[in-house]
Chains A and B, each alone.
Chain A
Amino acid sequence: MITDIVNIKYVNEFVSIAGKGPICEGIDMFLNSVEDYLGNCLSYFNKKGFEEAGKELHKIKGAASSIGLTRVSAKAKEIELELLKDRDTYGLNSRVMELREIILADTKELRNFVMTLSGM
């Protein structure tokens, strides 16, 4: 269900005022920056910089919610909390892979949804 993935109300509101362009630009920007965030996150984690790794996940959470990706935002928050709780016993790699797959799938869904909306 698209409603589980995207904050429909928010995206509609945003598109109605700003048009489709900025949100599509936002999706591209998100996809470009999220690789850096995930890479930094794993790098910090491997150096036992758990707080810093958590901050990278926090950025993903904030950025995802800025373009209405609710599921990605929630998943990033979930991983951030688990990481800060379990620290070096946490299996971050598999969770990052999982998050990356969700990001790819959900951004595609969001882009398709935005295209269905009326506006510039």
Chain B
Amino acid sequence: MNIYNTCEQKLKQWISRLYQKSVVYLSAVLGFFLTLFITVVHCVLGYFFNGIITVFDVIQPLCYGALLTPFIVFVFNQVFSDVENARTQVRDMKKSLAKTYVAMINQRDRNLTLTKDHEVLRGQKIKVEKQLEEQATFFSAIVDLTPDIIMYRDESGNIKGCNDNMLKLLGLTNAAQLVDLLKEDHELDDIFAKFDDILKLNKSDVTYESTINEVVYQMRKRPAVNAEGNLIGIMLYGHDITKLKYEQDLLEKTSRDKSNFISTLSHELRTPLNGIVGLSDILMQTGHFDGDDMRNLKAINVSAVTLGNIFNDVIDLNKFERQTFNVIYEKVKWRDFLDDFETLAHLMTEQKNLDFNFNVEGEVSEYLLLDPTRLRQILWNLTGNAIKFTKKGGITISVRQHMDGDSAELTFSITDTGIGIAKEEQEKIFGLYYQVEGTKQSTGTGIGLHVTRNLCQALNGSVRVESELGKGSTFTVSFTFKKTEHEIEKKEIKSSLRVLLVEDVDLNILVARTMLEKLGHKVFVAKTGQEAISLFKSEKIDLALLDMQLPDMTGFDVADVFVNELNCSVPLIALTANVINDRKEYEKHHIDGVMNKPLSLTKLVENLQKYQE
């Protein structure tokens, strides 16, 4: 095949060269024959007209032929050359066209392939678009079906859409109306835009509660962030919690009512109990009883005290639940406190014929600043438990005390020889309503130790237990209280006081003045704060009763002027018709006591006697 092609090519080359040469030869031959033809014609014509052929008739045409032949050769050669060029160009063009045609065919094939691919892709795109459309429809249906509200906005806060329930809630028909509404209703706009700044800053969810048209929503916002981490919008989802809120409020109210009821009941029961405790104390001290009578009397006393402690626990538990628990620090003569505690603990152990030891180590200041009621409650709870769980043996109470600067560090250890507490139970016993299973003695309320621990924490103290099952337990509580000095200055006892009554209501003045005068005191009345200040300057006053709501000033303002500007050192007693919630507020203004209006004669006498001394 290759040999054939080579031969063909060589043949073509040879023909081409021959052709090139033949043009010259052919032109020369043509020139020769043309010259010959002219010569012959010239000779014939000479002979015809002259009847003779001369040398000139031959030479002359030959000369013409010789002169014309190169020109003819050149012209022919040029013509043939142009023809050849044209032919070559045509051939090249044909080749080029063929190539172009082939390229076009290839391109067409490629286009066909691409078209097919495009068709496939288009089909896929339509399918995906359809799926997306379906998904959007599903999501839209879900979004519209939810009873909650949904809204989404772009990063600038422009509303991009919302669900049907949002429109229904606001009485609108489309999102455009919502945009218009929010331009006018700034309050509503603020609800939706709340915490946007925080959300944009942190790019994290925010949650808050808001009420729209009496429906309470828990709003949850989430930033929409693209792949580059840029905020592209904000989604808002509001969950309707109206019912939940209502039920929660109802539940809280019910719980509060229950706690209040129990607390009130305990309060009410504690009052007669105090009577029992007090009267049994008096009877025990008369010396009229001995033997069984005395034992019974002690039993009454101890039972009433124990019951009182349970009520105290219940009341405090309620206060802890309502977070209204307050520690009330007051000056306490420490030795008396310890003596009372020892006496009662001794009485309690006597009831069960247990040995009793009470040891005190170290010394502290005579007077300490503490909450005696709460400290007593802690110690009684622990001692009561120790006695309850001890059948035989005894109870030992050790008090270790020492001064550290102005602070008294106190540690009480209450040790029993009772049933003990298993290791795994030792932390659980401080839980609310927790009782150790299987103990016959576990007949308590299950709140005592829970309240005890809370009380210890409230007094900045601690409680811990060490115990061995079957051998006994030791509960240790530790506190630090500040020492305080006893005011030993002796005040002149006065039978008649000069009382400044600061009150603006005439009737209240009449009542208070009548009472005070009947009790033998001299009364100076001021109906305004300014009058009170003038009277305080001009008269020698022993005690001032201050109404809290005066026309020109509050009772606190008057007290501040008395103390800070007039160097008042006389007792100030506030008169208020409101519930006394926080005595600290009064103490801040150097007011020594507070009395509720209307003035109770008994309370008034009590207060006056206190300051007469």
Residue from A10, A25, A62 having most chain B Cβ neighbours under 10 A? A62
Binary contact readout B363-386 vs A (1 if CB under 8 angstroms, 0 otherwise): 000000000000000000000000
A10 to B600, CA, bound (A): 7
Contact indicator B514/A63 (Cβ below 8 Å): no
- A1 proximal to B (CB < 8 A): no
Contact indicator B518/A66 (Cβ below 8 Å): no
Given the interface contacts A17-B518, A55-B549, does A62 sit within 8 Å of B510 by beta carbon? no
> What residues of A have a CB within 8 angstroms of the CB of B182 in the complex?
none
> What residues of B have a CB within 8 angstroms of the CB of A26 in the complex?
507, 510-511
> What residues of A have a CB within 8 angstroms of the CB of B549 in the complex?
55, 58
> What residues of A have a CB within 8 angstroms of the CB of B519 in the complex?
17
Q: Chain A, interface size: which category? A: 20 to 34
- A97 proximal to B (CB < 8 A): no
A7 to B599, CA, bound (A): 12
Given the interface contacts A18-B514, A61-B577, does A66 sit within 8 Å of B601 by beta carbon? no
Contact indicator A67/B505 (Cβ below 8 Å): no
> What residues of A have a CB within 8 angstroms of the CB of B515 in the complex?
14, 17-18
Rounded to whole Å, the gap between the CB of A72 and the closest CB of chain B is 12
- A44 proximal to B (CB < 8 A): no
Given the interface contacts A63-B507, A66-B508, does A22 sit within 8 Å of B514 by beta carbon? yes
Rounded to whole Å, the gap between the CB of A120 and the closest CB of chain B is 12
Rounded to whole Å, the gap between the CB of A50 and the closest CB of chain B is 16
- B598 proximal to A (CB < 8 A): yes
Return the contact of A62 from the options B518, B577, B600 (Cβ within 8 A): B577
Contact indicator A25/B510 (Cβ below 8 Å): yes
Count A/B pairs, Cβ under 8 Å. Answer: 61
Contact indicator B598/A66 (Cβ below 8 Å): yes
Contact indicator A66/B514 (Cβ below 8 Å): no
Return the contact of A14 from the options B505, B507, B601 (Cβ within 8 A): B601
- B597 proximal to A (CB < 8 A): yes
> What residues of B have a CB within 8 angstroms of the CB of A25 in the complex?
510
Return the contact of A67 from the options B507, B518, B577, B600 (Cβ within 8 A): B507
A70 to B47, CA, bound (A): 178
Chain B contact residues: over half helix, strand or loop, or mixed? helix
Rounded to whole Å, the gap between the CB of B528 and the closest CB of chain A is 14
Contact indicator B505/A59 (Cβ below 8 Å): yes
Closest to A30 in B: B507
Binary contact readout B497-529 vs A (1 if CB under 8 angstroms, 0 otherwise): 000000011111011101100110000000000
A10 to B512, CA, bound (A): 13
A25 to B549, CA, bound (A): 24
Return the contact of A33 from the options B506, B514, B598, B600 (Cβ within 8 A): B506
Contact indicator A67/B511 (Cβ below 8 Å): yes
Rounded to whole Å, the gap between the CB of A5 and the closest CB of chain B is 15
Return the contact of A22 from the options B506, B511, B600, B601 (Cβ within 8 A): B511
> What residues of B have a CB within 8 angstroms of the CB of A65 in the complex?
577, 597-598
A66 to B600, CA, bound (A): 10
Which residues 531-580 of B have a CB within 8 angstroms of A?
549, 577
Binary contact readout A48-59 vs B (1 if CB under 8 angstroms, 0 otherwise): 000000010011
> What residues of A have a CB within 8 angstroms of the CB of B511 in the complex?
14, 22, 26, 66-67
Contact indicator A10/B510 (Cβ below 8 Å): no
Closest to B605 in A: A17
Closest to B511 in A: A66
Residue from B508, B511, B599 having most chain A Cβ neighbours under 10 A? B511
> What residues of B have a CB within 8 angstroms of the CB of A86 in the complex?
none
- A13 proximal to B (CB < 8 A): yes
> What residues of B have a CB within 8 angstroms of the CB of A67 in the complex?
507, 511
A66 to B505, CA, bound (A): 10
- A29 proximal to B (CB < 8 A): yes
Contact indicator B601/A63 (Cβ below 8 Å): no
Rounded to whole Å, the gap between the CB of B561 and the closest CB of chain A is 21
> What residues of A have a CB within 8 angstroms of the CB of B507 in the complex?
26, 29-30, 33, 63, 66-67
Rounded to whole Å, the gap between the CB of B411 and the closest CB of chain A is 47
A10 to B515, CA, bound (A): 12
Rounded to whole Å, the gap between the CB of A82 and the closest CB of chain B is 17
Rounded to whole Å, the gap between the CB of A111 and the closest CB of chain B is 14
A18 to B512, CA, bound (A): 11
Contact indicator B510/A7 (Cβ below 8 Å): no
Contact indicator B514/A7 (Cβ below 8 Å): no
A63 to B504, CA, bound (A): 10
Contact indicator A29/B601 (Cβ below 8 Å): no
Residue from A13, A17, A55 having most chain B Cβ neighbours under 10 A? A17
A43 to B510, CA, bound (A): 27
> What residues of B have a CB within 8 angstroms of the CB of A17 in the complex?
514-515, 518-519, 601
A27 to B537, CA, bound (A): 33
Residue from A17, A29, A55, A66 having most chain B Cβ neighbours under 10 A? A66
Residue from B504, B505, B599 having most chain A Cβ neighbours under 10 A? B505
Given the interface contacts A14-B511, A18-B515, A22-B510, does A63 sit within 8 Å of B600 by beta carbon? no
A68 to B597, CA, bound (A): 11
Rounded to whole Å, the gap between the CB of B204 and the closest CB of chain A is 39
> What residues of B have a CB within 8 angstroms of the CB of A13 in the complex?
600-602
Contact indicator A63/B505 (Cβ below 8 Å): yes
Binary contact readout A1-40 vs B (1 if CB under 8 angstroms, 0 otherwise): 0000001001001100110001001100110010000000
Rounded to whole Å, the gap between the CB of A91 and the closest CB of chain B is 22
> What residues of A have a CB within 8 angstroms of the CB of B601 in the complex?
13-14, 17
Return the contact of B577 from the options A7, A29, A33, A58 (Cβ within 8 A): A58
7 more A-B residue pairs beyond the given contacts A26-B511, A58-B577, A66-B597, with a C-beta to C-beta distance below 8 A? A13-B600, A14-B601, A17-B519, A22-B514, A26-B507, A29-B507, A65-B577
Contact residues of B with A, CB < 8 Å? 504-508, 510-512, 514-515, 518-519, 549, 577, 597-602
Question: 3 shortest A-B CB distances, which residue pairs?
Answer: A63-B507, A65-B598, A22-B514
Return 13 A-B CB contacts under 8 Å, by A number. A7-B598, A10-B598, A14-B514, A17-B514, A17-B518, A25-B510, A29-B506, A33-B506, A55-B549, A59-B504, A61-B577, A62-B505, A63-B505
